[in-house]
Structure 1
Amino acid sequence: MKPLANRTEHLAQSNIRAITLLLNEYGGINLGQGICDMPTPDAIKKGAHKAIDDDKSIYSYYGGIDRLRSALLKKCQEYNQIPIRSEDEIMVTVGSTGAFVATMFTLLNPGDEVIVFEPYYGYHCNLLTVMGAKLRFIQTTGPDWKIDFEAVEALITDKTKAIVVTTPGNPNGKVWTRSELEKIAALLEKHDIYAITDEIYEYMLYDGREHISLASLPGAFERTITLSGFSKTYNMTGWRLGYAVGPEAIIEKMGLLSDLIYICAPTPLQHGVAEAFEMDDGYFDEMASSYARKRQLMCSTLEEIGFLVPWPEGSYYVLADFSQLRNRFSGFEDDEQASLTLVKEAGIGTVMGRSFYDDDADGANCLRFCFAKEYDVLEEACRKLKEAFPPA
């Protein structure tokens, strides 16, 4: 048979999915994949149910239903402070991943260079590679994950097309400061390049930190595609609903490309998620308080066991260093062995550190833990960890 397309040559199941399958074999608690297995708000479920009962089952406009885009316009203006002018600068997508794919198809040609910060979200890099982009990496190191902006600018060439910024970060929970984003905005203008910002964890912030959208800064909106979604905020990862915000000319092209790929996001589910914007703001306060409590439990447990823990500033992940455990326990030679050890000895699934770096060796001492669980489930996971690996 003739070979498959070259773009599929290096595709493989992600480490995240692989450890999930192994955990299913051994049984236990998955603190690896960010699946948010908590209840979706009733208002959203009832809204989708009603839309189905009302036969709102035909294609929507490829950019999304009017009610949802109207709600997003207000949200982006008020919460994100993005200088967006109309619904024509918003597109509803099949998950924020769908928004990322549409952005790539619209902005990039094969051979274009894209700057990515390590540790990164692996799906971004895999998709960029499939697109034929050349990745240029800037490594950051915990606990503060500071950016070397001189190194960033040194990577920019006449082939550089975009910079990817994820805030709050996955896997490290870094929340970009206004000063850092202002430096990115200056680079965009100076070198005539785009930014792609993934802001899916924008409501998950700790210790009084503020979420700032790059597109809200002077001069940045015209060069920035802002991506977000509903999966993480409302515990509905399987609904696959996200959105993109940017200049109308870019959003229009993204919409046309999305129309070719999947026509539209599921119409009845769009009606359901539109109900989220009628919910009381108390939902966000309760969510923030709940995640802060879970972060405290997860991070303090890992520190008791002996992990070095850069406490996340946002999101619901922690990238913890296990190197000090080698003196007390076997099975911690590298991240692959450590991940297997946690599954076999404690029944806990995690993600290998190598999943977030271009060079596997850079992630060899760390594992990512996800604390997007019901509190009692997270308590049980922490109990199992301390039982298998008693604190010194």
Structure 2
Amino acid sequence: MPTASMTATNLYLSDLAPNTTQSEIRAMTVACAAVDGINLAQGVCDTDPPHPVVEAAIAAIRSGHNIYTRLDGIAPLRAAIAQKFATFNGITVDPDREVLVTSGATGALQAALLALLNPGDECLVLEPFYGYHVSTLRSQRVVPVIVPLDAPDWILDLDRLDAAITPRTRAIILNSPSNPSGKVFSQPELELLANFAIKHDLFVFTDEMYEYFIYDGARHRSIAALPGMAERTITISGFSKTFSVTGWRLGYLAADARWLPAIGYFHDLTYVCAPSPLQHGAAAGLLALPTAFYEALAVEYQTKRDELCAALTHAGLTPSIPTGAYYILADATRIPGVDAKQKARKLLADTGIAAVAGSAFFGNNADGTNRGENLLRFCFAKKSAELEEACHRLDAYGL
């Protein structure tokens, strides 16, 4: 009789699986919970959602909106998203042919990549990068090509971008405002990127999730609004951060009508549709909340940014001041540890504050070193009392 080991030769992990590890963001969240610490690692955004959003979702559940929607989302939400794109982003889209409501921005990116790129294609990724962007590319056998930006202001080097182009380059991922650096790309930088994409005939996947979190008089701009870019840009955003509903997993994208049916197919294949009653909540938010809501959001978070930056400075963890999003990269040189992961865990042990190793947002150099090993990322999307306690602990850590 053949033994189990002889007959199980087809039972093994995929080629991808052995090289995958839990993200440092989630790992630090687990470690933080184990010591009942303050989680400044994951961008959970635990502030209260706007009242109209919550009440409309509850009303939708009670009214029976608990079944599948169209794969591209309910009509009122798609119409509200199209209006928002027109007034805020300067992008004209057809709500029936060019808007897709998705299961989070991660679902939007996954479906768009499946629809538009092939295994072996290359996609340029600006560094520091959001790790889920790179991991999603790799999960689809698309090759991420890392292009570093120059610290401390994360300046774009067009020559470096040109040098990264190969015959297999098909796309570039843009994230503005950026997680983790908080960089907001300026109009001249976006024009350079647009001309670059047109010159090399590239798709642009742009993650604009933090578009309302803008500070110091900066302004969010969408690259799809530039001449010649609408046809090649997939603009991704969502409600997780703006409405403080990260657990709802509700995002959206805009794409040219040529691409949307294929993107919608792959989103339907994986998710069927975004959660029905929550779509009604998001639609109510877009329709009911005034411009003052979004302006107040930026003011509130700039105050929180300044509070945390001051505490980090006092603790000897010099921050890079972000212009957007709600994360801070800080210099962790003074914390003992051979690498950023050890430094993050040492800080958690000493203060009960969880941060993320900077190495999670950088690729390795040819010699195996990583530009993020002396950096930690802190999130300030917290309720005021908890953020104040975190700052108090950092102040004490600096003594």
User: Structure 2 length normalisation: TM-score?
Assistant: 0.94
Alignment equivalent of 1:349, drawn from 343, 351, 354: 354
Matches of 2:262 and 2:342, distance apart in 1? 45
Aligned partner of 1:285 in structure 2 is: 295
Matches of 2:133 and 2:386, distance apart in 1? 30
What is the aligned-residue RMSD (CA, Å)? 1.2
Aligned partner of 2:4 in structure 1 is: none
Q: Would you say 1:339 and 2:344 are equivalent positions? A: yes
Tell me if the contact between 1:322 and 1:332 (Cα under 8 Å) persists in the aligned partners. no
Matches of 2:35 and 2:89, distance apart in 1? 43
Aligned partner of 1:23 in structure 2 is: 32
Alignment equivalent of 1:362, drawn from 355, 371, 376: 371
Aligned partner of 2:283 in structure 1 is: 274
For residues 323-380 of structure 1, give each alpha carbon's deviation from its aligned partner in whole angstroms, at most 9, with x where no partner exists. Answer: 2x25xxxx24431221011111100000001100111521110000000001221110
Tell me if the contact between 2:315 and 2:397 (Cα under 8 Å) persists in the aligned partners. no
Alignment equivalent of 1:205, drawn from 208, 211, 214: 214
**SS across alignment from 1:79:** helix
Q: Would you say 1:3 and 2:8 are equivalent positions? A: no
Query: How far 1:84 moved relative to its partner?
Result: 2.2
For residues 2-36 of structure 1, give each alpha carbon's deviation from its aligned partner in whole angstroms, at most 9, with x where no partner exists. Answer: 11222323221111111111111112100000000
**SS across alignment from 1:368:** strand
Tell me if the contact between 1:8 and 1:130 (Cα under 8 Å) persists in the aligned partners. no
Show the 5 A alignment for 1:196-235.
Answer: 196-235=205-244
**SS across alignment from 1:361:** coil
Matches of 1:39 and 1:279, distance apart in 2? 15
Matches of 2:340 and 2:254, distance apart in 1? 37
Matches of 2:139 and 2:95, distance apart in 1? 32
Q: Which sits farther off after the overlay, 299-308 or 261-270?
A: 299-308
**SS across alignment from 1:364:** coil
Amino acid at match of 2:75: D
4+ residue runs over 3 A deviation: none
Matches of 1:33 and 1:272, distance apart in 2? 24
Q: Would you say 1:43 and 2:48 are equivalent positions? A: no
Matches of 2:345 and 2:269, distance apart in 1? 41
Q: Would you say 1:116 and 2:121 are equivalent positions? A: no
For residues 94-148 of structure 1, give each alpha carbon's deviation from its aligned partner in whole angstroms, at most 9, with x where no partner exists. Answer: 0000000011101110000000011100001011001001111111233210011
Aligned partner of 1:188 in structure 2 is: 197
**SS across alignment from 2:228:** coil
Amino acid at match of 2:67: I
**SS across alignment from 1:170:** coil
For residues 289-341 of structure 1, give each alpha carbon's deviation from its aligned partner in whole angstroms, at most 9, with x where no partner exists. Answer: 11010000011111122222210010000011122x25xxxx24431221011
Alignment equivalent of 1:143, drawn from 152, 168, 188: 152
**SS across alignment from 1:226:** strand
Number of residue-to-residue matches in the alignment: 385
Query: How far 1:78 moved relative to its partner?
Result: 1.0
Alignment equivalent of 1:70, drawn from 64, 79, 96: 79
Aligned partner of 1:157 in structure 2 is: 166
Matches of 2:51 and 2:355, distance apart in 1? 30
**Identical columns (%):** 41
Matches of 1:180 and 1:229, distance apart in 2? 24
Matches of 1:111 and 1:95, distance apart in 2? 26
Gaps of 5+ in 1: none
Amino acid at match of 1:111: G
Tell me if the contact between 1:41 and 1:234 (Cα under 8 Å) persists in the aligned partners. yes
Tell me if the contact between 2:180 and 2:329 (Cα under 8 Å) persists in the aligned partners. yes
Matches of 1:301 and 1:372, distance apart in 2? 15
Aligned partner of 1:318 in structure 2 is: 328
Tell me if the contact between 1:142 and 1:310 (Cα under 8 Å) persists in the aligned partners. no
Amino acid at match of 2:296: E
Query: How far 1:86 moved relative to its partner?
Result: 4.0
Aligned partner of 2:264 in structure 1 is: 255
Tell me if the contact between 2:316 and 2:398 (Cα under 8 Å) persists in the aligned partners. no
